[in-house]
């Protein structure tokens, strides 16, 4: 029943907001550094670098809270079992990202965003509306979201200290997964969203990332 599914997804969302999710894959770790002399330990980070990295990882954690909400809402909105399975698969991998970023924040002595309940609620509403606009639009929304997240993670790889190999390994694997999710959405029939919609999505993401960096 729809009500049972809704309760189940909201329970999952509450666990995401509370930071009690469990990853199904181990946290990515650097295998081979490009510079064998590059330090890996966090004590190699200066206090300013640590603060900046924590801000970036908090933003990424918020992004994963939003991803949970989006995919849960889109899964509830579609009537096609194969799409529900697709959203469920993507959501599971995003749940890994959520756990990884939460763990990294803890290592850095920092915390997730205090506004996570707000981010989750807003993303859930947007995802449900997108889902009710039709499967092709919903998949297109997924594709565009992942495309923007990919570019966002690219910018974080540019900003992260070169010697922070722990954070870089996490962000790099997240980027690989997001590319796969976006391609899967396009392969499933997702349509390209109108340019004005893409711009609104970027503007909303800018507000979220700027705020979450600090709060």
178: annotated binding-site residue? yes
CA distance 129 to 5: 17
φ and ψ of 140, to 5 deg:
-65, -40
Sign of CA dihedral 193, 197, 198, 204: negative
3-state helix, strand, coil in the chain (%, to 5): 75, 0, 25
CA distance 175 to 183: 12
94: annotated binding-site residue? yes
Q: Are 169 and 30 in contact (CB under 8 A)?
A: yes
User: Which tokens go with 130?
Assistant: 């997108």
Name the binding residues. 64, 94, 97, 146, 178, 181
> Known binding site for Fe cation: residues?
64, 94, 97, 146, 178, 181
């Amino acid at each position: 029943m729809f009500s049972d599914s809704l309760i189940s997804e909201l329970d999952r969302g509450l666990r995401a907001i509370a930071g009690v999710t469990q990853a199904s894959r181990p946290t990515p770790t650097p295998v081979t550094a490009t510079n064998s002399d590059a330090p890996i330990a966090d004590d190699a980070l200066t206090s300013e670098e640590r603060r900046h990295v924590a801000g970036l990882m908090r933003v990424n954690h918020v992004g994963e809270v939003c991803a949970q909400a989006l995919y849960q809402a889109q899964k509830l909105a579609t009537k096609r079992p194969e799409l529900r399975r697709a959203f469920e698969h993507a959501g599971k991998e995003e749940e890994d990202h959520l756990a990884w970023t939460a763990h990294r924040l803890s290592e850095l002595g920092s915390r997730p965003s205090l506004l996570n309940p707000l981010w989750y609620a807003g993303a859930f509403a947007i995802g449900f509306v997108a889902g009710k606009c039709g499967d092709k639009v919903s998949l297109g929304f997924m594709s565009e979201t992942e495309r923007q997240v990919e570019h966002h993670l690219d910018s974080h790889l540019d900003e992260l200290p070169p010697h922070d190999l722990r954070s870089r390994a996490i962000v790099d694997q997240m980027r690989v997964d997001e590319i796969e999710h976006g391609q899967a959405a396009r392969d499933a029939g997702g349509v390209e969203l109108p340019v004005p919609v893409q711009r609104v999505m970027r503007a909303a993401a800018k507000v979220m990332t700027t705020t979450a960096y600090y709060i």
